[in-house]
Amino acid sequence: MNMNYEKQLISTYTKAIIDKYGIVIRPKELANILNMSVKTIYNEISDSKDLPKYTMLKGKKIYMANEIARWLVENSMRYEGGH
């Protein structure tokens, strides 16, 4: 992918995610974005599978909208047509 195109996609995905879910995304919302069950998300986390980067906030795993967007663009072949 062209780098400028990738940046535009990341920016667009980030804005769409923020508009719908806010900046901080919980695993339940990530499951909705990726069309997975919450259980699958937690299994993927505990198995250290390929998911967007998360951070800890007050002892809870959260995802940032921009990290989800970056991950969606980098993995677009697997998740084409996602939200």
Task: List the domains of the chain with CATH numbers.
Answer: 3-74 (1.10.10)
Give per-residue pLDDT as tens, 39-61.
988 887 766 667 888 889 999 88
In sequence order, which residues have a C-beta less than 8 Å from that of residue 38 and are 6 or more positions away? 27, 28, 31
Q: Which of 22, 69, 63 is nearest to 42 (CA)?
A: 63
pLDDT above 50 for 31? yes
> What amino acid is encoded at 11 in this protein?
S
Phi, psi (rounded to 5 degrees) for 61: -75, 130
Mean pLDDT of the chain: 84
Write down the pLDDT at residue 74. 86
Query: Quick one: pLDDT band at residue 83, thresholds 50, 70, 90?
Result: very low
Using the predicted structure, report yes or no on whether residue 64 has a pLDDT greater than 90.
yes
What integer pLDDT is reported at residue 1 of this predicted model?
56
